[in-house]
Amino acid sequence: MNKLRRYWKRIELFRVISFNTGAGLLRMLFTFGTNKIIALWLGPAGTALTSQILNAIQGLQGFATLGISEAVTRYTALYRKRDNRLRLFLLRSGRMILYISALLGLFVFFLAPQVSHYLFGTRDYASLVRVMAVFSPVYAYQMLLMAVLNGLEQYRRLSIINILVHATGFVLMIFLAAALQLRGALWAVVLTPVVSFGFSLLILRPYDRHLLVAPLQNGNDKFDGFLKRLAPYLAMALTVAVMRPFFSLYIRNAIIAHFGPEGTYTAGYWDAIRKISAFYFVFIAPVFSVYYFPRLTRINDAREWISEIKRMLRHFFGWIFAGFVLVFALRRWITTLVFADDYAPVNALYGWQIAGDAIRVFSLLLAYRMWAKALSWHFVISEVGYWLLYTGLVMVFMPVGGLFGVMEAYVWANAGYLILMLIYFRKELLEGLFQPPNK
């Protein structure tokens, strides 16, 4: 029986990886097309400015949802066979998201000129920011939808929706950037989540749609015990949701300010190598979020966790590092294909980015344990520490090494984070290495 169970887990992992690979190729194709349009029509400056508005939307989503998507995934996985508990949980979490996103949207709407100036150095895009604020509930609900499907382990629908998001972004970028140039490209980024959310609703099962409609219906919306149960996830997820886009904006603005007249172009090169990284993480991240994380929510014994890590290392990590080597070997061709000849300086950044990403992949095996077991304060401290370390190293290394200093800071920040994870989980790691999992 144990052999059969292990065999089934192995087959399921391969099934997730194989389906995710096909879906990832499609997502990468659409993302490639979108970035190619920006690169050819708008250049490195367009890459930097569209990344600004994208980070702003991500920050808005994080604040609007309080970053509870991972908590929704966990409790959906736990309650998926208990229909009433699941409906009540989604009613309360969805209603809380709607309240907060509406209030946040009003706040951003009235501060649109100031937000526009912070993002673009001008108030000319205030109307764009106001539209983004109006659609804040839609952005938040899109995240809720993805989290629910993840918890229900509906891998295929989740992948299809991700493909729809990227396909929608590609089509909107073609038409709007062609008509309005940079302004049109920014509008495409703002409207993509809204249009793709509408398409996503069409492919859901009736049961899934009913779950998502629950917050709009009459029901008990007392949040006292609910918030207490969710508090650890709120602390962790809100930290991620705020830290990542805020510090990305901060570092990008620091690069623009440091390099003067060439600052926007230099920031565009930095964003370009990060987009290349995002391309191959299209294949990596879903295996962690769709396969690894839901399993960790059901694993209590440390030795079972180590067994799951070993399974990931045996069947998944070899492919990852082979992909890293291939990307580095083909870096010049990839840069020209994905962007344009103007992006040639990006070729010198691949080694640093890949080194940092390789370290990051190892740290994810440990960091997801914090999510799955709601180790909130440990996670918050480690996440805040990572971003402060990364930003501090950027400020130290950039005056000395320029853009290479920024990339070096990324590698050392990820190394520091991995060391911290190893120290924190040292007892469980040693226990799992020398004792077999429970029968």
Domain, as residue range, for 370: 2-434
Q: Is it the case that residue 121 has pLDDT exceeding 70?
A: yes
The answer to whether position 12 is within a domain reads yes
Nearest Cα neighbor of 383 from 367, 369, 403, 395 is 367
The answer to whether position 261 is within a domain reads yes
The answer to whether position 169 is within a domain reads yes
CA dist., res. 22 & res. 433, Å (int): 34
Q: What mean pLDDT do residues 177-182 have? A: 88
Q: Is it the case that residue 13 has pLDDT exceeding 60?
A: no
* Sign of the torsion formed by the C-alpha atoms of 376, 379, 385 and 388: negative
* Sign of the torsion formed by the C-alpha atoms of 272, 273, 279 and 281: negative
Residue, of 38 and 356, whose pLDDT is higher: 356
Nearest Cα neighbor of 142 from 107, 97, 110, 108 is 97
Nearest Cα neighbor of 160 from 294, 22, 259, 273 is 22
CA dist., res. 351 & res. 348, Å (int): 7
CA dist., res. 336 & res. 342, Å (int): 9
pLDDT (tens digit per residue) in 328-381: 999 999 888 888 778 889 999 999 999 999 999 888 888 888 776 667 777 788
Could you give the number of structural domains in the chain? 1
Q: What is the pLDDT of residue 34?
A: 83
The answer to whether position 439 is within a domain reads no
**8 pLDDT band (50/70/90 cuts)?**
very low
Q: Is it the case that residue 243 has pLDDT exceeding 90?
A: no
The answer to whether position 91 is within a domain reads yes
232, 236, 241, 245 alpha-carbon torsion, rounded to 10°: 160
Q: What is the pLDDT of residue 11?
A: 52
CA dist., res. 282 & res. 363, Å (int): 17
CA dist., res. 428 & res. 438, Å (int): 14
Lowest mean pLDDT among 280-294, 337-351, 379-393, 395-409: 280-294
The answer to whether position 228 is within a domain reads yes
The helix or strand, by DSSP H or E, that contains position 289, with its residue range, turns out to be none
Residue, of 439 and 216, whose pLDDT is higher: 216
Burial 258-267 (b: 16+ CB within 10 A, else e): bbeeebbbbb
Q: Is it the case that residue 10 has pLDDT exceeding 60?
A: no
The answer to whether position 113 is within a domain reads yes
* Look-up of token digits 């790691």: 429
pTM: 0.66
* Phi and psi angles of residue 111, each rounded to the nearest 5 degrees, phi first: -105, 20
pLDDT (tens digit per residue) in 128-146: 999 999 998 888 888 788 8
CA dist., res. 332 & res. 131, Å (int): 38
Contact 394, 340 (CB under 8 A): no
Q: Is it the case that residue 175 has pLDDT exceeding 80?
A: yes
**5 pLDDT band (50/70/90 cuts)?**
low
- The length of the chain is 439
The answer to whether position 267 is within a domain reads yes
* Look-up of token digits 């509406």: 102
Q: What is the pLDDT of residue 327?
A: 92
